[in-house]
Amino acid sequence: MDNPFTVERAVRGAQLINRAQELTKVTTTLGRAGKLFVIGPRRFGKTSILMTAVDQLRDEKGKVLFFNVEAYPTLELLIRAVLTEAANLSGNLKQTTTTIKKFFSKLNPSVSYNPVEGTFEASLGVSAAETSEAAPLLVETLNNLEKLAAASKQKIGIVLDEFQKLLQLGGPSIEGQLRAAIQHHEHVGYVLAGSQTSLLTDMINNPARPFYRLGEPLFIKEVPFDDFLVFLQEGFQKLSCKAGDETFAYLFGLVDGVPYNVQLLASNCWDEIHRNPKKRLTREDVDAAQSRLIQVFAPYHAPLWASLTANQQKALALIARNLTEGRTAQGLMTKAILKRLDMTPGTMHKSLLALENRSIVRREFTGTAAVYRFEDPLFKAWILATTTSAL
């Protein structure tokens, strides 16, 4: 019997819970060649939403290209991937080669065909020796894709997941160069997605930045517990195992409602009951599953903790305990807290900023107040289980 809780890969299709509105927004934007920024913390299902939307459009014969920018160590490799996917949109070898060379002539491309896989591969005849030279090549590629879409009279959609990585690959000028190009595109739609929430929010809300108000924002939030409850109940019913709503609520809250972690904890509980059948899931079972997961991920969490400065460790442990005790992570700058931790306002601010830049915590806003949350709730659990309460 297969475990119904997926953690090894991005969930797709029917496994997505309560994401119909988000899917519709993504598919509609790509279908009309619009522009959309999808912003959501890691483990919230952002990539699953994007991949399911791409699957739906391709099933309807739509032309959609999907790229996870973090998968490409250089911008030149990303450009080559875009060119290759463009080559695979249609046509036989002769037609495809002619089309690619016509519309991407400045890149001096060559196209080869793999008869076993039935796919094309394109390569660039030009290269960028410096990072600053790669950004114009990407702009040239996207402009040519717009010309190709216009000539074919069929819109093309591009999804760039973890889009913020482009800022590292293309240098500081890439924002402005991309804005100058894609704001005029009418036949290519863009979904630009990322998990560095504060950075991307600033990119689209800061009037001083090129992407200010370029497209609509779509913020990915937690799946409501009531929707997850049905999914959890159905999963354990396969084992003829039941649980009260309060047990599932406890499981949900233990990982802060983060969709991936809910699936991970439920999956571990499910595997244990599959090995040792019982009729009812209890809070003790959930606690035991979390303890097992803490041990499993300790080889990752321990070095991560050790890589932090003493002040960063103190700030992070404080956030973990505040969240667990039902208090928000606000008020980290109070005199009493700073005195207890032997920190100044400056060192606390610097520590929090470093933790945020490393995607260990993120800021969420309730009104005008910032609240810090863990990107990985399991790291919070590890800290609580292994560090001294004196912190």
Whether residue 123 is found in the same domain as residue 85:
yes
In a domain, 12, yes or no: no
Residue 31 sits in a domain whose CATH number is 3.40.50.300
- CA separation (Å) from 13 to 10, 51, 65, 237, 251? 10, 9, 18, 21, 24
Burial 253-275 (b: 16+ CB within 10 A, else e): ebbbbbbbbbbbbbbbbbebbee
Instruction: Give 208's strand partners.
Output: none
213: left (phi > 0), else alpha (psi -120 to 50), else beta?
left
Q: What is the pLDDT of residue 218?
A: 95
Task: List, for residues 357-370, the tens digit of each pLDDT value.
Answer: 898 998 887 666 67
* Same-domain pairing of 149 and 131: yes
Say if 13 falls within a structural domain.
Answer: no
What's the domain range around 90? Answer: 19-219
- 188-217 pLDDT, tens digit per residue, is 999 999 998 888 889 999 999 999 989 999
In the predicted structure, residue 376 carries a pLDDT above the cut 50: yes
- Check which CATH number belongs to the domain holding 349 and give it: 1.10.10.10
Residue where a domain terminates, one of 299, 321, 345: 299
Residue 81 placed within a domain: yes
Domain-located, residue 2? no
CATH number at residue 241: 1.10.8
Does 5 map to a domain? no
Give residue 160's Cα distance to chain centre. 11
Confidence of residue 390 (pLDDT cuts 50, 70, 90): very low
Domain ends where: 252, 276, 299?
299
The set of residues, in sequence order, having a beta carbon less than 8 Å from that of 65 and lying 6+ positions away, is 82, 85, 86, 156, 157, 158, 159
Count of the separate structural domains present in the chain: 3
User: Does residue 101 fall inside a structural domain?
Assistant: yes
Instruction: Please report, for residues 185, 273, 279, 282, 285, the alpha-carbon distance to residue 240 in angstroms, rounded to integers and kept in the order given.
Output: 54, 10, 7, 14, 16
Mean pLDDT (whole number) for 221-237? 90
**269 and 154 in a common domain:** no
146 and 101 belong to one structural domain: yes
Average pLDDT, rounded, for the chain: 89
- Residue 382 domain-assigned (yes or no): yes
Tokens of 76: 């030149």
Strands (E), 88-155: 110-114, 119-123
Is the pLDDT score of 130 beyond 60?
no
